[in-house]
Structure 1
Amino acid sequence: MAAKGLARAMIVITTISAAVMELLDTTIVNVALNQMAGSLGATIEDVAWVVTSYAIANVIIIPMTGFLGDYFGRKTYYLGSILLFGVSSYFCGASHGLWELVFWRFIQGVGGGALLSTSQAILFDAFEPKDRPIASGIFGMGIILGPTLGPALGGYIVEHFTWQDIFFVNIPICIAATILTILYIERKEGEGQKKSQIVIDYPGIFLLTLGIGSLQYVLEKGESDDWFESRTIVILSLSAAVGLVGFVWRELTTEHPVVDLKIFRYKVFGLSTIFTFVAGLGLFTSVFVYPVMVQRINGFTPLETGLSLIAPTMLGVVLFPVIGRRMAAGDSPLPYMAIGILIFVFFGFYSGTATPEMGKWDFFPMQVCRVLGVAMLQMPLINQAVAGLQQREYPAGIALTNMIRQLGGAFGIALANNYVTNAAAQHRSDLMANMTMDNPLFVQRLNGSIANFASKTGDYFGATKMAYAQLEGLVAKQAYYLAYLDTYRVVSLFFVAIFPLLLLLRTKKKTKEEIAAAAKAAADSH
């Protein structure tokens, strides 16, 4: 039954806070890796496991949230996940060694996995069926706020406090969410009372863990481990293939699957997952590339980087509920999705025109395009993905959609890392080809640099070496900048590729009665 007044407001605050906190923790540590490495006496490569372990746990647990909610009862599972997230956050901040921290980050990811899909289901229950698209709009705010706020909040904490506080900041939020969950989130009738009747699909859980865990590791660590030159990557790639193929076979043949993959028989859901994957790729990759690029090339501090992302993101916060109201009024999601894809294509090529001299406000129009694209695409996708599913299939649909979005992000970040490395090497080679004595512009620049250093040191030979070193550094910087700009264009090509698939998602405009009936059927399955 839908909540009213203060109760509904408290449910909205609880679920959105939990969802934002879960997504925020995927990016908040990125700006603190250097501080962690120094404090824990680890290399940057090793400390990257702090990010990887959380992502692996997240992606493993997300598709199982529907099953775990049925087994333990949704409220119990949600409450337990919040508490687990808060306790593990404390131990992350209190860790004295790298692998202790990595272990607790994994546990934090297990707790965080429920905070996305279960928050969405609880939020939907707080609204009348006809208003559920508005709930989608509100939830969409969390999807865009979490990854974007992470670098800003992380940058502020690192600059003014310690890296441990990045984890401790979760604790008061978890305490508040726990209290609000106990007070305002109701149990559904019969919730958690059929535990003895539920058959646990242990082989399915094992194969899912093996397949998704191995795949996530390969995507996260492949570039730094030189891909298939690494024995570990080769072994885990084979494990991912065996685990995923075995998991699909198991879930399609068992009577009690841990994840109901049979929902892929619905064409709309199957096609929607393609859009969700690419949307996740675009969202996470754009948020990943921008901070690295502007800090490495434009000279932004972590805090400046985060602040430059927050202002345009606020536009999305306003836009999501507006689009939700339009969905509630019966608008087809397809025109919004088409506009969102086209905006993302424009954003990629527009961002490819950036220069190293640009300041944080110069990037504002580009970031506005990014936010508009995410808002126009993500929110309608939430409605489109579950359209036509049966009541019992809705939790599996939400969980799989969230997992595929996360996998899209992991794939995009791995793609960006690999592409930047290779493209930078190519750009450097092309630029170095112009550094010859036959090029008058190069000779002029070289002689000017030599004269400048010689006037300060009085050593012509030393000045020549310094001039060449300076020019080589400028070439490397320019090569990386060109590679980052190319990455935006590559991401745009994914959106170009999926645009024709919109023709296969043609749906007639639904009446308010049809929307209410479909939303009620979905809500009954929570």
Structure 2
Amino acid sequence: MSADGVPHRGMITACAIGATLLQSLDQTIANVALPYMQGSFSASYTEITWVLTSYIVAAAIMTAPVGWLAVRFGRKPLYVGSIIGFTIASMLCGAAQSIEQIVLFRLLQGMFSAALVPLSQATLLDIYPPERRGFAMAIWGVGVMIGPIMGPTLGGYLTEFYNWRFVFYINLPFGLLATFGLITFLPKTLPQTALRFDWFGFAVLTTAIGAFQLMLDRGQDQDWFGSTEIIVEAVAAGLGLYLFLVHMSAARAPLIRPAIFRDVNFSSGLVLMFAMGTLLVSSLALMAPWLQNLANYPVETAGLVMAPRGFGNLITITLAGKLTGRMDPRWLVAAGLLLICWSFWRMTGWTPDVDRREIILAIVIQGAGMGLVFTPLQVLAFATLPTSFRTEAASLFSLLRNIGAAIGVSVTSTMLTRHAQALHEEIGAAINPFNRALQALSGTGRTLWDPGTADGIARLDQVVTHQAQVIAYMNDYVLLICTTLPALLLLLLMRQPRRAPVPVDQHAAMD
């Protein structure tokens, strides 16, 4: 479709943002409801975590073939069908009566959600001319970035004041509105019915992604490579990826065309988006337990303290959308990455008695940095890419962001646990009856921390555990800084997009 004279552009945009919010909210909205689901289904902790795992694995697997499906069946039928399927699966999740049912329905929900974000992005890129794509990616980025941030707050509110089932039922009105709007206003695209599906490529890629996601999700509980299950999943993931890469380079019509990676801007942007994915969710996953477990904030207060990150994000996403067409987007991305690093650096000095204003300031800076990166990065990555690759590229962006998020959460949580254990042992080595500081306390008659009594040992262990966790969180924030800074080097490989409109490829498979 041509971006010139697209009718009902505003309505299509609103529906695309609604569809994006549906998917991005469901990444995190169910997390806070897990304990309530566990009680309803009398499930173990391992069983209830499959409610999250099934959704993540299904969404990751089905993201890769979105480009092919959009060409084969047409973007509009795939888009509308995905929203309808997602909405129905959400209702089934809310009505589930057993752990087996909700895991199955979450699997279906993840499958249908996979196409929503890449199709929304590709649609907005198509209906806006090049000079307004910064604006289009800004409003689309609001849906992608705000959803995971607001998900836990909204999920906690619905669970606390209504029922955990409303975490899924809330998707119904938004799904119906988005479906009606897209059926009414989205232009049709011609399907290419002669295309053949790359079943072998899909099978090995599914094996690689599925095994890798399972390895990341279950690695910490299974003691990583001390478990036979994790070793098998790692081998399956590595073998599946190797076979897929060989097949992609040799097949006539592979699932993902290798020519897409010849565009330096897109390939660099893909790596940058992977790095952003590791930061987006892992920083939230660290912040929530820090506020509740170390700083002793109530759940409601913790949610309110974390909310300003969304405001900082919203402001800079809007600002970046306006500035992208007026200046080199690479400077905006660089500024955003440096702001993110600055926020993490401030967090390395946090202790549980840190002032709340300092917490909010760091969170706002972090959200602002992510907003500055997200919109210009989309414009840079798609600026030099032919339109025939657009939907396929959008699905790869979504896939790498999700895989990055999974790796980020897994690595930070593992490092947090292992650092806390090592630091507990290191600090605890100095806790003994011969420690002069403790002897001085005993001499004053204070027996609360007396290592010679059982009660004193228990209290000392509690203090040592607390201090070890504080330092472990600091180490994790240093790790996130080390993840962010190297991404700046990728900007040297990217070219500034042309300001003049780019000619549309008349043979584009998507148009």
The two structures share one fold, judged by TM-score above 0.5: yes
* Residue aligning to 2:426: 430
* Residue aligning to 2:122: 121
Consecutive unaligned residues in structure 1, runs of 5 or more: 454-459
Distance, in Å, in 2 between the alignment partners of 1:422 and 1:243 is 29
> Per-residue displacement from partner, 1:198-248 (whole Å, max 9, x unpaired)?
111111111111111111111121111111122221111111111111112
Is 1:257 the equivalent of 2:254? yes
Please report how far the alpha carbon of residue 76 of structure 1 lies from its aligned counterpart in structure 2 after TM superposition: 0.7
Aligned length: 510
Aligned residue type for 2:101: E
What SS does the corresponding residue of 1:363 show, helix, strand or coil? Answer: helix
* Residue aligning to 1:481: 470
Is 1:148 the equivalent of 2:133? no
Distance, in Å, in 2 between the alignment partners of 1:152 and 1:521 is 46
> Per-residue displacement from partner, 1:421-460 (whole Å, max 9, x unpaired)?
110011111221232334344345567896569xxxxxx9
| Superposition pairs of residues 90-105 of structure 1, within 5 angstroms | 90-105=91-106
* Residue aligning to 2:311: 314
| Superposition pairs of residues 30-49 of structure 1, within 5 angstroms | 30-49=31-50
Aligned residue type for 1:174: G
What SS does the corresponding residue of 2:8 show, helix, strand or coil? Answer: helix
Distance, in Å, in 2 between the alignment partners of 1:359 and 1:347 is 15
Given candidates 224, 243, 267, the residue that maps to 1:227 is 224
Structure 2 CA distance for partners of 1:244 and 1:482, relative to 1, 3 Å: same
Normalising to structure 1: TM-score of the pair? Answer: 0.91
What SS does the corresponding residue of 1:48 show, helix, strand or coil? Answer: helix
* Residue aligning to 1:345: 341
* Residue aligning to 1:185: 186
Aligned residue type for 2:144: I
Which of 228-237 and 73-82 deviates more? 228-237
Aligned residue type for 2:54: S
Contact 1:55-1:109 at 8 Å conserved across structures: yes
Distance, in Å, in 2 between the alignment partners of 1:271 and 1:226 is 34
Distance, in Å, in 2 between the alignment partners of 1:446 and 1:159 is 46
Distance, in Å, in 2 between the alignment partners of 1:351 and 1:394 is 38
Given candidates 367, 372, 377, the residue that maps to 1:371 is 367
Which of 86-95 and 354-363 deviates more? 354-363
Please report how far the alpha carbon of residue 410 of structure 1 lies from its aligned counterpart in structure 2 after TM superposition: 0.6
Aligned residue type for 1:435: I
| Superposition pairs of residues 307-456 of structure 1, within 5 angstroms | 307-329=304-326, 331-358=327-354, 360-443=356-439, 451=447
What SS does the corresponding residue of 1:328 show, helix, strand or coil? Answer: coil
Contact 1:130-1:519 at 8 Å conserved across structures: no
Which of 113-122 and 255-264 deviates more? 255-264
Consecutive unaligned residues in structure 2, runs of 5 or more: none
Please report how far the alpha carbon of residue 6 of structure 1 lies from its aligned counterpart in structure 2 after TM superposition: 9.2
Contact 2:132-2:325 at 8 Å conserved across structures: yes
> Per-residue displacement from partner, 1:2-54 (whole Å, max 9, x unpaired)?
48799333222211121122011111112122222222112223211111111
Please report how far the alpha carbon of residue 344 of structure 1 lies from its aligned counterpart in structure 2 after TM superposition: 1.7
> Per-residue displacement from partner, 1:242-293 (whole Å, max 9, x unpaired)?
1111112222222222222331122332222221111111111111111122
Structure 2 CA distance for partners of 1:388 and 1:439, relative to 1, 3 Å: same
Distance, in Å, in 1 between the alignment partners of 2:443 and 2:70 is 70
Distance, in Å, in 1 between the alignment partners of 2:229 and 2:27 is 24
Contact 1:273-1:404 at 8 Å conserved across structures: yes
Aligned residue type for 1:126: I
Distance, in Å, in 1 between the alignment partners of 2:151 and 2:439 is 45
Distance, in Å, in 1 between the alignment partners of 2:313 and 2:257 is 33
* Residue aligning to 2:215: 218
What SS does the corresponding residue of 1:472 show, helix, strand or coil? Answer: helix
* Residue aligning to 1:65: 66
> Per-residue displacement from partner, 1:347-382 (whole Å, max 9, x unpaired)?
222111111124654410110121122112121111
Aligned residue type for 1:517: V
Aligned residue type for 2:388: R
Greater fraction helix: 1
Please report how far the alpha carbon of residue 474 of structure 1 lies from its aligned counterpart in structure 2 after TM superposition: 2.1
What SS does the corresponding residue of 2:430 show, helix, strand or coil? Answer: coil
Contact 1:344-1:373 at 8 Å conserved across structures: yes
| Superposition pairs of residues 489-504 of structure 1, within 5 angstroms | 489-504=478-493
Aligned residue type for 1:439: N
Contact 2:380-2:497 at 8 Å conserved across structures: no
Structure 2 CA distance for partners of 1:446 and 1:301, relative to 1, 3 Å: farther
Distance, in Å, in 2 between the alignment partners of 1:77 and 1:267 is 29
Structure 1 vs Structure 2 CA RMSD: 2.5
Is 1:18 the equivalent of 2:19? yes
Aligned residue type for 1:124: L
What SS does the corresponding residue of 1:187 show, helix, strand or coil? Answer: coil
Contact 1:151-1:303 at 8 Å conserved across structures: no
Structure 2 CA distance for partners of 1:523 and 1:11, relative to 1, 3 Å: farther
Structure 2 CA distance for partners of 1:405 and 1:167, relative to 1, 3 Å: same
> Per-residue displacement from partner, 1:91-131 (whole Å, max 9, x unpaired)?
11111222221111111011111110001112223323321
Is 1:241 the equivalent of 2:238? yes
> Per-residue displacement from partner, 1:388-423 (whole Å, max 9, x unpaired)?
222212222111111111111111011011101110
Please report how far the alpha carbon of residue 521 of structure 1 lies from its aligned counterpart in structure 2 after TM superposition: 8.1
Structure 2 CA distance for partners of 1:295 and 1:348, relative to 1, 3 Å: same
Structure 2 CA distance for partners of 1:103 and 1:143, relative to 1, 3 Å: same
Aligned residue type for 1:271: S
Contact 2:83-2:116 at 8 Å conserved across structures: yes
Contact 2:94-2:166 at 8 Å conserved across structures: yes
Contact 1:151-1:305 at 8 Å conserved across structures: no
Normalising to structure 2: TM-score of the pair? Answer: 0.93
* Residue aligning to 1:297: 294
Distance, in Å, in 1 between the alignment partners of 2:32 and 2:160 is 10
Structure 2 CA distance for partners of 1:465 and 1:78, relative to 1, 3 Å: same
Aligned residue type for 2:365: C
Contact 1:124-1:523 at 8 Å conserved across structures: no
Structure 2 CA distance for partners of 1:445 and 1:122, relative to 1, 3 Å: farther
Is 1:75 the equivalent of 2:60? no
Which of 401-410 and 308-317 deviates more? 308-317
* Residue aligning to 1:467: 456
